[in-house]
Structure 1
Amino acid sequence: MAEAIYVGGLLVATPLLDDPNFRRSVVLILEHDHDGGTLGVVLNRPSDISVTQVLPVWDPLVTGPSVLFEGGPVQTDSALALAAVPSGEEPLGWRRLHAGTDAVARLGTVDLDAPPEILQGEIAQMRIFAGYAGWTSGQLESEIAEGAWYVVDSEVGDTFHADPTSLWRQVLRRQRGELAFVATCPDDPTMN
Structure 2
Amino acid sequence: MRLRTSRFGLLAAGGCLVLAAALAVPIEQAVTARQPGREVTVRQLAAGKMLVASRRLADPNFTETVLLLIEYRTDGAAGLVLTRQSELPLARALPDLAPVAPLAMRPFVGGPVAHETVLALSRTACPGCRMVTRGVHLVNDGDMLRQRLASGDDDRTLRVYTGYAGWSAGQLAAEVREDAWRVVPGDAAAVFDGEPETLWRRMLARAESVLADRGTGGEPSGADVVDGLR
TM-score normalized with structure 2 length: 0.64
What is the CA-CA distance between 1:118 and the residue it aligns to? 6.3
Could you say which residue in structure 1 is the equivalent of 2:137?
108
Extract unaligned runs of 5+ from structure 1: 99-103, 181-192
Q: Of 165, 187, 192, which residue of structure 1 is paired with 2:197?
A: 165
Does residue 1:40 correspond to 2:79, yes or no? yes
Could you say which residue in structure 2 is the equivalent of 1:126?
158
Does residue 1:177 correspond to 2:219, yes or no? no
Extract unaligned runs of 5+ from structure 2: 1-36, 214-230
Give 4+ residue runs of structure 1 displaced > 4 Å after superposition. 121-124
Matched-pair contact (CA < 8 Å) for 2:111–2:165: yes
Aligned length: 166
Could you say which residue in structure 1 is the equivalent of 2:178?
146
Structure-2 change in CA distance of 1:138 and 1:161 (3 Å): same
Structure-2 change in CA distance of 1:110 and 1:42 (3 Å): same
What is the CA-CA distance between 1:153 and the residue it aligns to? 1.7
Could you say which residue in structure 1 is the equivalent of 2:121?
82
Matched-pair contact (CA < 8 Å) for 2:52–2:182: yes
What is the CA-CA distance between 1:107 and the residue it aligns to? 1.4
Identical aligned residues as a percent: 33
Q: Which has the higher contact order (CA 8 A, sep 6+)?
A: 1
CA distance in 1, matches of 2:75, 2:57: 24
Q: Higher strand fraction: Structure 1 or Structure 2?
A: 1
What is the CA-CA distance between 1:16 and the residue it aligns to? 0.4
SS in 2 for 1:46: coil
**Highest Rg: 1 or 2?**
2
CA distance in 1, matches of 2:58, 2:182: 14
Q: Higher helix fraction: Structure 1 or Structure 2?
A: 2
SS in 1 for 2:58: coil
Does residue 1:96 correspond to 2:136, yes or no? no
Matched-pair contact (CA < 8 Å) for 2:135–2:188: no
Could you say which residue in structure 2 is the equivalent of 1:190?
none
Matched-pair contact (CA < 8 Å) for 1:84–1:106: yes
Structure-2 change in CA distance of 1:179 and 1:80 (3 Å): farther
Structure-2 change in CA distance of 1:66 and 1:139 (3 Å): same
Structure-2 change in CA distance of 1:131 and 1:118 (3 Å): closer
What is the CA-CA distance between 1:52 and the residue it aligns to? 1.2
CA distance in 2, matches of 1:154, 1:72: 18
Greater CA deviation, 17-26 or 171-180? 171-180
Structure-2 change in CA distance of 1:22 and 1:58 (3 Å): farther
RMSD: 2.6
